[in-house]
Homo-oligomer: A and B are copies of this chain.
Amino acid sequence: MATGRTHRPATRSRGIPEATVARLPLYLRALTALSERSVPTVSSEELAAAAGVNSAKLRKDFSYLGSYGTRGVGYDVEYLVYQISRELGLTQDWPVAIVGIGNLGAALANYGGFASRGFRVAALIDADPAMAGTPVAGIAVQHTDDLDRIISDNGVSIGVITTPPGAAQQVCDRLVAAGVTSILNFAPTVLSVPDGVDVRKVDLSIELQILAFHEQRKAGEEAAADGRAGVDGDADTDAPPMRATPAGRKGPDGDMPAVMPA
């Protein structure tokens, strides 16, 4: 789900490809599971299967980190867990602030996957005065007015935005001004940030829309083509059927199906 990084065209950080960085957490999860089962070593083949990727890709990914495997044997699980954790920066504690404590913000505050990976929810911030002091996931919600101080006092460098779209940019600006340099944005808004600030966007409805696209295609293919396992039905099943304005003039406003409520 979610869309890739927003700014930062493809910085190829320290020689490690962005695509590889994005997969490291995947490997880490699989390795942690093996570690818990006290498995001492894994082959690239096994680990790749557990992580759901190609084994060649996994080996190449690891090769960017260094030569951590033993030929004929595989990778030492514990050692690899440590190396990847270090590479991802998970050997240190990251205080995180969540701004916008609605349903989603509360869910994230309660999400166990954060705490278990070096992330600590240091502060919950909301603009609603009525929420101030209310404990969510064991942490008292604080008011937006104190955002600056909260960020500074806790040394927060990673912020999570779960506000309504209208407030997102303003919150973002204030976070950045207070010293936050990495933002995870759940609001459906394109945030603009100064250079040096990383933004990653998670858009829940976009994921569903992508699924809907494929779903529709599957349904259409099924109806049109018979026989043969679907390769690439070339004949345009649903090519532009009708054109609102033959040669495009302004405001064709009556014959357009009201498709999108919002």
Other-chain contact of A14, B86, B111, B206, B233 (Cβ < 8 Å): B233
Number of copies: 2
Interface stretch, picked from A126-134, A139-147, A167-175, A193-201, is A193-201
Alpha-carbon distance A255/B51, docked complex (angstroms): 26
Instruction: Kindly report which residue of chain B lies nearest to residue A104, judged by CB atoms.
Output: B107
Q: Whole-angstrom distance from the CB of A220 to the nearest CB of chain B?
A: 8
Give, as a whole number of angstroms, the nearest-CB distance from A43 to chain B.
14
Residues of B within 8 A of A42 (CB): none
- Check: A56 CB closer than 8 A to any chain B CB: no
A212 CB contact (under 8 Å) in B76, B158, B213: B158
How many chain-A residues does the 8 Å CB contact rule pick out? 112
Which residue among A26, A29, A51 has the maximum number of chain B CB atoms within 10 Å of its CB? A29
Q: Which chain B residues border A103 with CB–CB below 8 Å? A: 106-107, 110-111
From the candidates B3, B116, B213, name the one contacting A88 in the complex (CB within 8 A): B213
Residues of chain A at the chain B interface (Cβ within 8 Å) = 1-6, 8, 12-14, 21-22, 24-26, 28-30, 32, 35-36, 40-41, 50-52, 66, 69-70, 73, 76, 78-79, 81-83, 85-92, 94, 96, 102-104, 106-108, 110-111, 113-119, 157-158, 181-184, 186, 188, 190, 196, 198, 200-218, 232-233, 236-240, 244-245, 247-248, 250-253, 256-257, 259-262
Taking a contact as CB atoms under 8 Å apart, the answer to whether B158 and A215 are in contact is yes
Q: With A1-B3, A113-B188, A211-B158 known to touch, is A91 a contact of B205 (CB < 8 Å)? A: no
- In the bound complex, CA of A261 to CA of B214 (Å): 38
Offer 5 A-B interface pairs, CB within 8 angstroms, sorted by A: A1-B5, A3-B22, A30-B190, A78-B244, A116-B262
